[in-house]
């Protein structure tokens, strides 16, 4: 059986301002109308070939991912939570340890959550070839046939052809090259882009890890063994996982092992590593523009323009990336988009929040988004999933007024619990315990008006919470 392992630990800062640390690119619909993680999972939904996916993510994204999987009707084999990011080798070791307890010779298919694959049939055919090699004990990587002298990817140099397989031994892995080097690779031939997709048996990869990176293998195994169940999640032991050296599976194992094979594949692959990558794969108009949202482009050529909330209008510009998110307008030359990381670093250094949060902030029960704020007041829109509930909570510094816009709300204020229908409202005084729940089968929309001397999100004292978040001692 093939066990897809979806790695979702990145923050995607090169696609800021759409991608932010608390809602990164793999959770967003950047190429289609489905989030990239969901696209990744749907490529490996076939009970005859694949087990249910095993997801590895950080704690902050767990409920968003769980909701996306539920919406798609996918029940993961497990959802492992990393207490901190330690790169792909510890994540792979934890996944292999978990799978080995179920199926010692089960084949892991390690998949980044945020890659685009245009030709899914070619991907599936390559996986079939890779599975045959992995079952024989090879560590398998997938080499994407290069379409140009790309300097943003690592390369794989093919070695000897493997008898009986449409694959090759790996001669060596090559770091991201200069333009001149990349051009020479294409002239010489036998070089493929390293897509960061791997296959190997659970027992084989753990043996190789104990040989080449024993500390990672030992500490990751300990983190799984000491891990704790939390609702539908497996929390790795924080102390053991923190002791794992931070390293990629490429550096820790693949570059040192002797039994590594590469399966070449042409599948329309991109890691969507920049805004220019989205322009390259996007559907272009007659002027070479890729547009999304409410856009008017006059005398505009070869631009990527994305409007999330309002109208974006351009006149007489070319080769730009323009992204509007409601709270941010980002404009860059298409050949300078990699420098967006410096903006993210500046925001962090200045103590701002735009590199972390969107205007719409996701919570396990749904989301809220700010509509207006001023002196001693703030207005939000809350959307509560069917069957979901906010924590039983209290605020020291603010009162709240809830108005039901759509759906039915079950509200608790003090000792009273009642149902509110559309266009009905209720007032929650400062210091009074309260809870909001959606007892219906449709999303619940609420307008919340806050008033008081302090309106920060940290003015929440929780007393009960179905999502396991910290509650106050009684």
Q: According to the model, what pLDDT value does residue 337 have?
A: 94
Q: What's the whole-model pTM score?
A: 0.90
Q: Which helix H or strand E contains 373, and what residues bound it?
A: strand 366-374
Q: Comparing 66-70, 111-115, 169-173, 358-362, which segment has the lowest mean pLDDT?
A: 358-362
Sheet holding 377-384, edge to edge: 360-363, 366-374, 377-384, 444-452, 398-406, 425-428
Confidence check: pLDDT of 474 > 80: no
Cα gap 323→15, rounded to integer Å: 10
The per-residue pLDDT for range 109-131, each reduced to its tens digit, is 999 999 999 999 999 999 999 99
Q: Two tokens at 97?
A: 């340890």
pLDDT bracket for residue 471 (50, 70, 90)? confident
pLDDT bracket for residue 191 (50, 70, 90)? very high
Residue identified by tokens 């010779």 is: 105
The per-residue pLDDT for range 88-105, each reduced to its tens digit, is 999 999 999 999 998 999
Q: According to the model, what pLDDT value does residue 231 have?
A: 84
Residue 327, judged by CB atoms within 10 A of its CB (0-12, 13-18, 19+), counts as middle
Q: According to the model, what pLDDT value does residue 472 have?
A: 72
Cα gap 162→437, rounded to integer Å: 59
As separate numbers, helices (DSSP H) first and strands (DSSP E) second, the chain gives: 11, 30
Q: According to the model, what pLDDT value does residue 469 have?
A: 81
Angle between helices 88-102 and 214-225 (to 10 degrees): 60
Confidence check: pLDDT of 24 > 80: yes
Q: According to the model, what pLDDT value does residue 311 have?
A: 97
Cα gap 368→370, rounded to integer Å: 7
For range 381-393, the mean pLDDT: 96
The per-residue pLDDT for range 27-77, each reduced to its tens digit, is 999 999 999 999 999 999 999 999 999 999 998 899 999 999 999 999 999
Architecture of domain 2-270: Alpha-Beta Complex (3.90)
Topology agreement, domain 2-270 and domain 360-464: no
The per-residue pLDDT for range 264-299, each reduced to its tens digit, is 999 999 999 999 999 999 999 999 999 999 999 999
Q: According to the model, what pLDDT value does residue 70 have?
A: 92
Q: According to the model, what pLDDT value does residue 134 have?
A: 97
Domain boundaries, the chain: 2-270, 275-345, 360-464
Give the alpha-carbon dihedral of 264, 266, 272, 276, to 10 degrees: 120
Closest CA to 18 of 405, 344, 400, 413: 344
The per-residue pLDDT for range 139-151, each reduced to its tens digit, is 999 999 999 999 8
Q: According to the model, what pLDDT value does residue 468 have?
A: 84
Residue 238, judged by CB atoms within 10 A of its CB (0-12, 13-18, 19+), counts as middle
pLDDT bracket for residue 473 (50, 70, 90)? low
Domain 360-464 indexed as CATH 3.40.50.2000: no
Q: Which helix H or strand E contains 97, and what residues bound it?
A: helix 88-102
In terms of phi and psi (left: phi > 0; alpha: psi -120 to 50; beta: otherwise), the region of 377 is: beta
Upstream peptide bond of 22 is cis (omega within 30 degrees of 0): no
pLDDT bracket for residue 12 (50, 70, 90)? confident
pLDDT bracket for residue 313 (50, 70, 90)? very high
């Amino acid at each position: 059986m093939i066990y897809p392992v979806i790695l979702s630990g990145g923050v995607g800062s090169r696609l800021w301002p759409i991608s932010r640390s608390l809602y990164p690119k793999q959770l967003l619909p950047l190429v289609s109308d489905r989030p990239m993680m969901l696209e990744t999972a749907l490529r490996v939904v076939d009970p005859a070939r694949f087990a249910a996916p095993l997801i590895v993510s950080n704690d902050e994204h767990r409920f968003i991912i769980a909701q996306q999987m539920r919406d798609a009707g996918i029940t993961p084999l497990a959802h492992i939570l990393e207490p901190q990011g330690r790169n792909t080798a510890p994540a792979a070791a934890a996944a292999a340890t978990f799978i080995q307890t179920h199926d010692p010779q089960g084949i892991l298919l390690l998949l980044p959550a945020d890659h685009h694959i245009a030709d899914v049939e070619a991907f599936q055919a390559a996986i079939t070839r890779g599975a045959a090699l992995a079952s024989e004990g090879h560590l398998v990587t997938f080499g994407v046939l290069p379409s140009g002298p790309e300097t943003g990817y690592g390369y794989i140099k093919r070695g000897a052809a493997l008898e009986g397989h449409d694959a090759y031994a790996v001669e060596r892995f090559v770091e991201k090259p200069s333009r001149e080097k990349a051009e020479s690779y294409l002239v010489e031939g036998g070089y493929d882009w390293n897509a960061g997709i791997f296959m190997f048996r659970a027992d084989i990869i753990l043996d190789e890890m104990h040989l080449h990176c024993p500390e990672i293998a030992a500490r990751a195994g300990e983190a799984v063994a000491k891990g704790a169940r939390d609702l539908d999640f497996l929390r790795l032991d924080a102390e053991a996982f923190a002791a794992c050296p931070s390293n990629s599976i490429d550096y820790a194992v693949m570059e040192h092992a002797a039994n590594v094979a590469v399966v070449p594949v042409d599948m329309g692959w991109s890691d969507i590593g920049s805004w220019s990558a989205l322009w390259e794969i996007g559907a272009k108009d007659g002027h070479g523009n890729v547009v999304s949202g409410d856009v008017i482009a006059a005398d505009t050529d070869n631009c990527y323009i994305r409007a999330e909330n309002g109208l974006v209008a351009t006149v007489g510009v070319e080769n730009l990336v323009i992204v509007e998110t409601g709270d941010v307008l980002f404009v860059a030359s298409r050949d300078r988009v990699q420098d967006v990381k410096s903006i993210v670093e500046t925001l962090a250094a200045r103590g701002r929040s735009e590199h972390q949060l969107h205007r719409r902030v996701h919570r396990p029960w749904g989301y809220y988004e700010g509509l207006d704020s001023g002196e001693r007041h703030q207005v939000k829109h809350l959307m509560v999933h069917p069957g979901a509930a906010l924590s039983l909570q209290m605020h020291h510094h603010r009162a709240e007024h809830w108005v039901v816009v759509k759906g039915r709300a079950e509200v608790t204020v003090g000792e009273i619990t009642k149902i509110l229908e559309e266009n009905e409202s209720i007032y929650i005084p400062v210091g009074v315990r309260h809870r909001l729940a959606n007892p219906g089968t449709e999303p619940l929309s609420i307008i919340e008006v806050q008033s008081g001397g302090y309106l920060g999100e940290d003015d929440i004292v929780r007393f009960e919470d179905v999502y396991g978040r910290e509650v106050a001692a009684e």
